[in-house]
Amino acid sequence: MVLEVLARCQDFISAQRLHSLLVAEDLRISLSTVYRALRELETADSVDVVRDDVGERLYRLRPEDGHRHYLICRSCGRSWPVDSEDVEQWAERIAADHGFAAVEHTVELTGVCGDCQPASDEGESLSCHPDSGRRTPAHRARSYAS
Amino acid sequence: MVLEVLARCQDFISAQRLHSLLVAEDLRISLSTVYRALRELETADSVDVVRDDVGERLYRLRPEDGHRHYLICRSCGRSWPVDSEDVEQWAERIAADHGFAAVEHTVELTGVCGDCQPASDEGESLSCHPDSGRRTPAHRARSYAS
DNA sequence: ATAGGTGCAAAAGATTTGCAACTGG
DNA sequence: CCAGTTGCAAATCTTTTGCACCTAT
């Protein structure tokens, strides 16, 4: 059930919201089970995970094409898989330069998408973000970025 | 006091450990105050922040040369500022391609440093990581990476 | 019957905050 | 005397876990 919603969603979503969606569909499932399912999917590398600005974890089913990095709109919350060839290479190079092995990287790209730029809120096209066009920008704990 | 320890440390450190260090030096300060100080430094863009594999936040005083990205050893915890020109450019390009504005990015590079590769643990040269050479690798919640 | 999944409530843990006491100017 | 800090304890919030129950094999 978790997988199904994730697949339908095609966007990052929190465990709690996911649970809400499930319950809203009359599916009987507990929050614990949702967390357990997500953890499985995570260890199976079937989902990508990013952190909310409040530390909450957001999950997204990894696209079949293997993309692992996304461009996320801070306003509506929608995400787009992006090509990360360059970063992969950069990461490898940097690691090699420093004599590192077993390198892993985490990359999060956020911004304001085209739809959210002119007016203030729209982008209700997808269903995973009840709080679409209204998200606390830089609530308190912003990740470092530049 | 917080600043001083951070400066001396030159590495990522958690609020709690930082507090321990302070207390260990007979400096009278509460954990709350440490958190408050770190938050200030954070909003002042004086520190960079990364997330532990358990969700804990680690802070590091941003080097004067303005580096914002680091290569962190998963074994001993030491970190090295890295050149991120390429990623910056990549980020800008990707964002532009998608019509995004106000782009921000977060990049975390982890691996096993040279010192930690042959044997298992060493690298006790710096003082911020009491738990050096022994860190739960991929405890449970691994960030997505590739 | 039996292994594994599930729900519930409690636990864990990091961070924040209300509030009263305190300090330097 | 006051503004701004601090400490402490309590609250918050997400995620995990213990444990009993229940179900499909």
Asked if residue B32 has pLDDT above 90, the reply is yes
Encoding tokens for residue B54? 């358990």
Asked if residue B144 has pLDDT above 50, the reply is no
| Cβ-defined contact of A105 to B103 (cutoff 8 Å) | no
Q: What is the mean pLDDT of residues A132-138?
A: 41
Residue A135, min C-alpha distance to chain B (Å):
15
* In contact, B120 and B111? CB cutoff 8 Å: no
Residues of A with Cβ-Cβ distance to B88 under 8 angstroms: 146
CA–C1' span, A17 to C4, in Å?
26
Q: What is the mean pLDDT of chain A?
A: 84
* Distance, CA of A50 to CA of A15 (rounded, Å): 12
Per residue in A103-113, pLDDT tens? Answer: 999 999 999 99
Asked if residue B137 has pLDDT above 80, the reply is no
The alpha carbon dihedral of B37, B39, B43, B49 has a sign of: positive
- A60: closest chain B residue by CA: B144
* In contact, A132 and A124? CB cutoff 8 Å: yes
Residues of B with Cβ-Cβ distance to A103 under 8 angstroms: 109-111
Q: Which residues contact B25 (CB under 8 A, 6 or more apart)?
A: none
* Distance, CA of A118 to CA of B115 (rounded, Å): 51
Per residue in A78-115, pLDDT tens? Answer: 999 999 999 999 999 999 999 999 999 999 999 999 99
- Residue A140 is predicted with a pLDDT of 33
- Residue A104 is predicted with a pLDDT of 92
Model confidence at A117, pLDDT cuts 50, 70, 90, reads confident
- Residue B65 is predicted with a pLDDT of 87
* Distance, CA of A47 to CA of A61 (rounded, Å): 4
Per residue in B35-83, pLDDT tens? Answer: 999 999 999 999 999 998 888 999 999 998 888 899 999 889 999 999 9
- A82: closest chain B residue by CA: B94
| Cβ-defined contact of B104 to A111 (cutoff 8 Å) | yes
Model confidence at A67, pLDDT cuts 50, 70, 90, reads confident
Q: Which residues contact B86 (CB under 8 A, 6 or more apart)?
A: A86, A87, A90
User: Range with the lowest mean pLDDT among A1-15, A56-70, B28-42, B123-137?
Assistant: B123-137
CA–C1' span, A27 to C1, in Å?
30
Model confidence at B85, pLDDT cuts 50, 70, 90, reads very high
Asked if residue B143 has pLDDT above 60, the reply is no
Q: Which of 123-142 (A) contact B at CB < 8 A?
A: 140-142
* In contact, B14 and B22? CB cutoff 8 Å: no
Model confidence at A142, pLDDT cuts 50, 70, 90, reads very low
* Distance, CA of A132 to CA of A111 (rounded, Å): 14
Helix (H) or strand (E) segment spanning residue A103: strand A101-112
Per residue in A12-43, pLDDT tens? Answer: 999 999 999 999 999 999 999 999 999 999 99
- Residue B132 is predicted with a pLDDT of 47
First-to-last CA distance in chain B?
39
Model confidence at B127, pLDDT cuts 50, 70, 90, reads low
Phi, psi torsion values for A114, nearest 5 degrees: -50, -45
- Residue B53 is predicted with a pLDDT of 82
- Residue A144 is predicted with a pLDDT of 35
* Distance, CA of A54 to CA of A14 (rounded, Å): 12
Q: Is A88 on the interface with B (CB under 8 A)?
A: yes
Q: Which residues pair with B70 in a beta bridge?
A: B81
Report the share of chain A in percent with pLDDT over 90: 69
Q: Which residues contact A99 (CB under 8 A, 6 or more apart)?
A: B113, B114, B117
H runs (alpha helix) in B51-118? 85-97
- Residue A119 is predicted with a pLDDT of 60
Per residue in B1-31, pLDDT tens? Answer: 999 999 999 999 999 999 999 999 999 999 9
Positions in chain D where some atom is under 7 Å from a protein CB: 5-9, 13-18
Q: CA separation (Å) from A78 to A9, A56, A112, B72? A: 10, 16, 10, 30
- Residue B140 is predicted with a pLDDT of 34
